[in-house]
Amino acid sequence: MNGYELKQKMQAGGIVYGMMLSMSRNPRWGAAMSGFGLDYVVIDTEHSPRGRHDVADFISAFTYSGVVPITRVPIPDSHYVTMALDAGAQGVLAPYCETVEEVKEVVAATKWKPLKGALARKVIETGELPSEATRTYLENRNRNNICIIGIESVPAIENLDNILSVEGIDAVFVGPNDLSISLGVPDQYDHPDYEAALREVIRICKAHNVPNLFHHQTVELSIKWLREGVRFVLYSSDSRQMHNGVREDFGRIKAVGAELEGGAAAEIGESDEVI
């Protein structure tokens, strides 16, 4: 699957599955992840200490994997968007967008690269390009590029209807930690205010025919919101999945060891990663 095929599946009402990569850096991980049954991965550069070279080398590992690499850039800025795409990403996730202007800049850089400045602003505002040949060329050149915007605060939700008037947005991302803090209920993902906010995002996005991805960290929450209309599933992270796997397997092994020793096994706690 490539970025264009991922968008086609979403537009046809299908469900796609992915994971955030916060820790993996070695390109050899690409081959391993190709066997996980994922449609896409989001390579984080907002909260993870990856440099430009790291990202480029890591993305190259996904070239023939069938897994679509999307990069979460540090801020909604055209410079970071084009750096990610130049590194080989087939999409970007621009975090914490709150204004139409921010989103226009991200969409222009994602969908009309390498146009910049006045011409990029013009195509977003009016749809006008230097020629039809330019339009055809840029549409083909950027056909794999996926544009995801982050709606992660109360002001962003209040402005979401206006934001989605910008053409070229392929999906809306919600970061639960940031949103719950903005709502005044940090990490309370069963709080009525948090659930109401997510349902409002779903409602507005459905009106604009734009899919959602909510980055939850438990199977139960992911299933809950899948049943409520999420079709762009973003579950957990590489770091958290490794933590959970080690906790489960070694928890069982250590329980037997503790039984044989006549003691109690020390428990491995929940992952404290926040991304």
pLDDT tens track for 158-196? 999 999 999 999 999 999 999 999 999 999 999 999 999
**pLDDT tens profile 83-119:** 999 999 999 999 999 999 999 999 999 999 999 999 9
Stretch 234-254: mean pLDDT: 92
Structure tokens at 21: 């990569």
Q: Which two tokens stand for residue 41?
A: 């991965």
The residue type at 116:
K
pLDDT of residue 51: 87
**Interhelix angle for 100-111 vs 78-86, to 10°?**
20
Q: According to the model, what pLDDT value does residue 167 have?
A: 96
pLDDT surpasses 90 at 262: no
Q: Is 217 exposed, middle or buried (0-12, 13-18, 19+ CB in 10 A)?
A: buried
Confidence band of 28 (pLDDT split at 50, 70, 90): confident
The half-sphere exposure of 200 on its side-chain side, counting CA atoms within 13 A, is: 18
Phi, psi of 69 (to 5 degrees): -85, 125
The pTM for the full model equals: 0.94
Residues of the chain above pLDDT 70, percent: 100
**In DSSP terms, which residues pair with 221 in a beta bridge?**
none
For residue range 31-44, list pLDDT tens digits in order.
889 999 999 999 99
**pLDDT of amino acid 108:** 98
CATH 3.40.630.40, applies to 3-239:
no
Q: Following CA atoms 206, 209, 210, 211 in sequence, which dihedral angle do they give, to the nearest 10 degrees?
A: 60
| 265 has pLDDT over 80 | no
Calculated CA dihedral for residues 273, 92, 10, 171, nearest 10 degrees: 80
pLDDT digits (tens, 9 = 90+) for 90-100: 999 999 999 99
